[in-house]
Structure 1
Amino acid sequence: MVNAEVFIEAIGLAAPGMPSWQQAARVLRGELPYEPVALPLHSPALLPANERRRATPAVRLAFQAAEDAMLASTVPAASLATVFASSDADLNIIHRISSALAATPRLISPTDFHNSVHNAAAGYWSIAVGSRAPSSTISAFDASFAVGLAEACGMVTVDRCDTLLVAFDLPPPEPLYAKRPIEAAVSVAVVLTCERTLNTLASMQWALTQDTESTLKTALLESLRLGNPAARALPLLELLAQNRSDRIVLPQAEKNAGLAVELRML
């Protein structure tokens, strides 16, 4: 394991049947059955009205988990560095722009063009909280959460920046869905700090490994984990929900590689 230690202060989650971390923790502890009810479209409380009107479903999904995490964080949102991790960002916009380019005349929505960049969610977040802190946006296919977590841990340990990690992906439209079948909308947020705080949940260390990735025993939750890159976080979230210290493995970008996370509850 990497000797450096980071602290997990807060969690946010938005997934079918688990619209918040508070609800998800009860499901992951087995106190409630998992019922995968689709998420309603989120209205970001932190966004000004003009930006909220322009925000896409992908941005709104990212905000749902991020705002959920900030409810339990003692660190001011504006001071947090950020890492936004998404395998595909907003394929709905890519589909609309591609369709417009194939049509006559070629009329592209200015709002779609504005939102088409992969770091759109990071930009909206910076506007919402007034942040000038460092920000990274990452894509690593099904390993996006693990790569985002490694990037966030690096910012905490090397740059000494308390950091908000947000991972999110949502289903694309056809014909893209046939090639990239993401099954459900999921976003996960984790607040990582350099030092222990009054709200710290756990500490963690990490290392690369060739061990097999961790899975979930509940069939519906395992299906969710496999159906969305952001949901690869669920084994880690399960440990946190159950207040259980243990080691889990998250899938990494390279074949037969993983990110081992050693979690110690505090």
Structure 2
Amino acid sequence: MKFSLDIVDWRAVAPGVDSCEHWIQWARCSDINTFSGANPKSQQIPMMSARRMSIGSRFAVDSGLALLVNNNVDAAIFTSRHGELEKTGRILHSLAGGEALSPTEFSMSVHNTAAGWLTIISKNPLPVTSLTAGKDSFHQGMLEAQAMLATGASRVMLVDFDGEIPDIYNESVNSEFLPYAVAIILTAGDTLKCQRISLSGEDMNPELPQSLQFLRGYLSSSPLFHISVDNRHSWQWVRNL
């Protein structure tokens, strides 16, 4: 599987890293402890709306809105491995304790919550898709974007995010680098070429989510970088210089 594209613009948000300059510094260093500090306040979302969102959705919507300020897009794709697990976990906890459920928590617990908030706050009725594919969610969003670009869209915004994970899932989910959001605007082109390749006995199990792996590779000067899928496959990205 091969495809190519160009990147028009990007934004990203994580605790302690919320400006393009900070992300470029992060991409060029090997300090894995960059993701620390307080969650940045939203610059684009009204306060009353921000209070109703999970942290992951707030990061996703904020980064998406920041791109829409200076860019027109034809469609948007939201990808997330865990979606609204933060809110779903609280709902399950309330059910287990026989407590009344919060209507707000319930209505905001669906996987496409962030996508809906983006269109509402921006007052932009964009065609939006929300999808998940486990650890490979970001790259499956890339493939969805390719389909949109091939069928008439000129620019597609892809937003990958995840929020905080309830403590009960700590044993099965590595939440060291959560929450975060990465938003990029894609268009047809050949600046970046990607193909899925097989690995021969290599053990690729990086701690970073795919979109952060991609952002680090994209912001570095490396002509080639890999994004892990599992211990048998990876996505290989090549930059045309």
Q: Spell out, residue by residue over 1:233-255, the C-alpha distance to the aligned partner (whole angstroms, 9 max, x if none).
A: 344323432344x2333233x76
Check 1:186–1:65 CA distance in 2 against 1; reply closer, same or farther (3 A cut).
same
Alignment of 1:1-266 (within 5 A): 2=2, 5-30=4-29, 35-70=33-68, 74-76=70-72, 79-104=73-98, 106-184=99-177, 185-194=179-188, 203-211=191-199, 226=207, 228-229=208-209, 232-244=210-222, 246-252=223-229, 256-265=232-241
- Give 3-state SS (helix, strand or coil) of 1:179's partner: coil
Aligned equivalents of 1:39 and 1:102: distance in 2? 33
Aligned equivalents of 1:236 and 1:214: distance in 2? 18
Residue 219 of structure 1 corresponds to none
Q: Spell out, residue by residue over 1:144-199, the C-alpha distance to the aligned partner (whole angstroms, 9 max, x if none).
A: 2222222223322334241111111133122122222321222111111236xxxx
Check 1:214–1:29 CA distance in 2 against 1; reply closer, same or farther (3 A cut).
farther
Root mean square deviation of aligned Cα? 2.9
Whether the aligned pair in 2 keeps the contact of 1:9 and 1:192 (CA below 8 Å) is yes
Q: Compute the displacement of 1:118 (Å).
A: 0.4
Whether the aligned pair in 2 keeps the contact of 1:87 and 1:169 (CA below 8 Å) is yes
Q: What is the count of residue pairs matched by the alignment? A: 239
Q: Spell out, residue by residue over 1:78-99, the C-alpha distance to the aligned partner (whole angstroms, 9 max, x if none).
A: x441111110012221111111
Which 5+ residue runs of structure 2 have no aligned equivalent? none
Whether the aligned pair in 1 keeps the contact of 2:56 and 2:181 (CA below 8 Å) is no
Q: Compute the displacement of 1:141 (Å).
A: 1.5
Whether the aligned pair in 1 keeps the contact of 2:131 and 2:141 (CA below 8 Å) is yes
Check 1:210–1:256 CA distance in 2 against 1; reply closer, same or farther (3 A cut).
same
Check 1:110–1:235 CA distance in 2 against 1; reply closer, same or farther (3 A cut).
closer
Whether the aligned pair in 2 keeps the contact of 1:211 and 1:258 (CA below 8 Å) is yes
Aligned equivalents of 2:92 and 2:215: distance in 1? 37
TM-score in terms of structure 2 length: 0.83
Aligned equivalents of 1:187 and 1:62: distance in 2? 5
Aligned equivalents of 2:232 and 2:203: distance in 1? 13
Q: Spell out, residue by residue over 1:102-156, the C-alpha distance to the aligned partner (whole angstroms, 9 max, x if none).
A: 223x411011011100010000011122222221111122112222222223322
- Give 3-state SS (helix, strand or coil) of 2:227's partner: strand
Q: Percent identity?
A: 23
- Give 3-state SS (helix, strand or coil) of 1:142's partner: coil
Greater shift after overlay, 148-157 or 118-127? 148-157
Q: Spell out, residue by residue over 1:35-91, the C-alpha distance to the aligned partner (whole angstroms, 9 max, x if none).
A: 5252533443333454233222121121343345456xx422xx4411111100122
Whether the aligned pair in 2 keeps the contact of 1:13 and 1:64 (CA below 8 Å) is no
Whether the aligned pair in 2 keeps the contact of 1:43 and 1:60 (CA below 8 Å) is no
- Give 3-state SS (helix, strand or coil) of 1:189's partner: strand
- Give 3-state SS (helix, strand or coil) of 1:178's partner: coil
TM-score in terms of structure 1 length: 0.76
Whether the aligned pair in 2 keeps the contact of 1:205 and 1:262 (CA below 8 Å) is yes
Which 5+ residue runs of structure 1 have no aligned equivalent? 196-201, 216-221
